[in-house]
Amino acid sequence: MNTKFKMILDDIDAVTARDPATRSRTEALLCSAGLQAIIIYRGSHWLWKKNWKLTARVISQLARFLTGVEIHPGATIGRGFFIDHGMGVVIGETTEIGDNCTLYHGVTLGGSTVFSHKGKNTSKRHPTLGNNVIVGAGAQVLGPITIGDNVKIGANAVLLKNVAAGETVVGVPAHEVIRGKKKEPSGFMAYGVCPTDVDPVDCLLQNLQKEIDDLSKRLKEPKDGTK
């Protein structure tokens, strides 16, 4: 089987495996904007590597208009890639994505462009994602950082630094969660968040609120000898 065709089949199967609302390959092809964007990207990326860069960019802009997903043809994306819902996803030129990764709507894999006396930076400026990474809705992963295998990035997180393999990060700026006492569920985890994970910032805020409540209660208590 042709390698390119097999890669597209893997993308289709990723939709049917991870999206409970999609029941067949035909439904995935006809109804998944994320899949349609990926298929068009595969073609534009081939043109980009053949040095037909302007044509590749025009095709990618057409895909953006049709699907709401913007994938630069210079990005490198592995097998089994899944974009759920799709709208508002942006993937920059020097982004590298491993196999079996999942992105939800509103995700940005963005870059850092630094200008100097020599002109703008055209080197590596977008993130690198390992295999089996899940990026929740609205998350922003910015700059030439490295995200390890099996990392989960919570919805609306803003990630600006490297993440080791197997970690889960949430918040603004994104930080690692504390593992809950219960065992994490096995298999695919939608939106990259586990119910047993504990946000340390949330714990800190709860402790601070408890201290404030205790102090308020003590201040309201009558002093000894008062009427």
Query: Which residue's structure tokens are 């953006």?
Result: 64
| 104 and 87 Cβ atoms separated by less than 8 Å | no
**Residue whose C-alpha is closest to residue 171's, from 184, 186, 155:** 155
The C-alpha atoms of residue 77 and residue 81 are separated, in whole angstroms, by 7
The C-alpha atoms of residue 137 and residue 139 are separated, in whole angstroms, by 6
The C-alpha atoms of residue 106 and residue 109 are separated, in whole angstroms, by 10
The C-alpha atoms of residue 23 and residue 29 are separated, in whole angstroms, by 11
Known active-site residue 105? yes
The C-alpha atoms of residue 15 and residue 38 are separated, in whole angstroms, by 11
- Facing residues of 134 across strands? 102, 152
The single residue of 45, 72, 85, 105 carrying the catalytic annotation is: 105
- Residues known to be catalytic: 105
